[in-house]
Structures are given as structure tokens and as C-alpha cells.
Amino acid sequence: MSRTFAIGDIHGAFRALQQVIERIQPTANDRLIFLGDYVDGWSESAETIAYLMELDRRYTCIFLRGNHDAWCETWLGGEPPLDLWLQHGGRATVASYEKLSAEARKEHLAFFHRMRQFYVDEHNRLYIHAGFASMHGPQFERYQYNYMWDRTLWETALALDPRLKPNDARYPRRLRLYDEIFIGHTPTINYGEFDPMHAGNVWNIDTGAGFNGKLTALDLRTKTFIQSDTVQYLYPGEKGRNT
């Protein structure tokens, strides 16, 4: 039986990504959906991207663009690095790319260009890095940076009365558009949770791999999840995005 996994924010934790893939043991029939923020934090962002490119050649993969990926893409494209980006993990990413040739950087940039803003599968499940504001769905989003930055979708789900059913007029219209929604961007460790969080029909799979959490892959059929070791133990002597 084929499986679909949604995989949370990686933030340069190549070793954690390797662990998760080894623990999933994907087959040719499986699908891997990555929710973005592959870079910035731990010291192996370039290695992470190279490994994702390898996975894309071997398996069915979907790659969404996170806000950190957009920063890195702009820099790889020749723009000066933004100070805000450098302050939020970009310095480690720049350092990781110093060892790559110009040709390899071009290949990575092409990979960034192919990333999607959002994805809807055959079961009307939405995958998006952060969220969207339009009541009609992300395809009608007026400000497309919301795909990578919005937190109101998750906050709406968290504040939802669990007794409300989707057919209730008070149930948020944005959430009713999809059977399920899978996001990253806002670490669950912000709420004291080191596992994926579920609110309404929204699943948050960013379990803080960039900080002091783990990298998570969620099996969408069973809702069981596979995690790496705590990432900071995989990178002794590094801070990641911890301050």
C-alpha cells in the first residue's frame, strides 16, 4: 500500500533528514511532501538541498517554498543577502555554500525555482508552508507572501471551539475549503509540544528542528509520525536557531 508523508521544517539539519528518511524506508510507491524551510539554522543547508534533489530523483516528491527558502533563493540568484535573513540562520547557509562550485549553485537555484507555493492532492488536502488569508483559498490570495508567512490560519485553528462541526455556520470558512490542511512555519515547541499538533482540520508538523526539537514526518493515512533524534544533539557545539 502506498503511503504519503508530510515532512516539517528542516532548517539545515541534514543529519536529522537522513535519519527520518532511513526510518520511513520509503518505497517507489510512496509520496514525500516537504513543507518548506529547508535551509537556515544548522550548518548543512547546502547538503540538505543536495540530498532533497537526490530524493526527488528516486521518489515522488513535492517541495513547498518556505520563507527561509525564498531568502536563500534570492541570494543564490545574485542579490545581496538581507540582514534579516543573515540574523535568522542565513549566515550558516552562506557558509555551507562556500564549498560548492558555481555550477552546483546553479543546480541548487534551479531546484529552488521549482518549489511550489502550495499543493492540493487528490483527497482535497492542502499543503502550504504557513497559510493564506483569502476566504476563497490560496489560489485567490492577494498577497502571495502569505503562503510563506501567514500565522492567522494556525491561530484560527487553535482558537476554534472543538465542539463546532464543519457544517456549522460559525466554522471558519477558510478551514472548510479543504478536508485537511498541513502546515509548518510555526514551531509546535512554541506551545510546549514536541510532537505534531492538530487543531480543527489543520495539522502543524513543524516540531522545532531548527531549535531544540526534532524533525517530523507524518503518515497521512494513519496519523502516526516518525521523528529524528533531537537535532541539537546531532550537531554538538552548534546553536542552530537557538539564541
Which three three-digit cell numbers place residue 177?
A: 475549503
Q: Is the pLDDT of residue 152 over 80?
A: yes
pLDDT at 91: 97
Task: Note whether 34 and 65 are within 8 A (CB).
Answer: no
Cα 6 to Cα 119: distance, rounded to the nearest angstrom: 12
- DSSP summary character for residue 11: T
Q: What is the mean pLDDT of residues 163-187?
A: 95
Task: Give the predicted TM-score (pTM) of the model.
Answer: 0.97
Portion of the chain with pLDDT greater than 70, in percent:
100
Mean pLDDT of all residues in 78-84: 96
Residues 1-50 have pLDDT tens digits of 799 999 999 999 999 999 999 999 999 999 999 999 999 999 999 999 99
Q: Write out pLDDT tens, residues 191-229.
A: 999 999 999 999 999 999 999 999 999 999 999 999 999
Helical axes 67-76 vs 102-113, angle rounded to 10°: 140
- pLDDT greater than 90 at residue 94: yes
Q: Which amino acid is at 216?
A: T
pLDDT in tens, 110-144: 999 999 999 999 999 999 999 999 999 999 999 99
pLDDT band at 243 (very low <50, low <70, confident <90, very high): confident
**And the C-alpha cell for 192?**
510546549
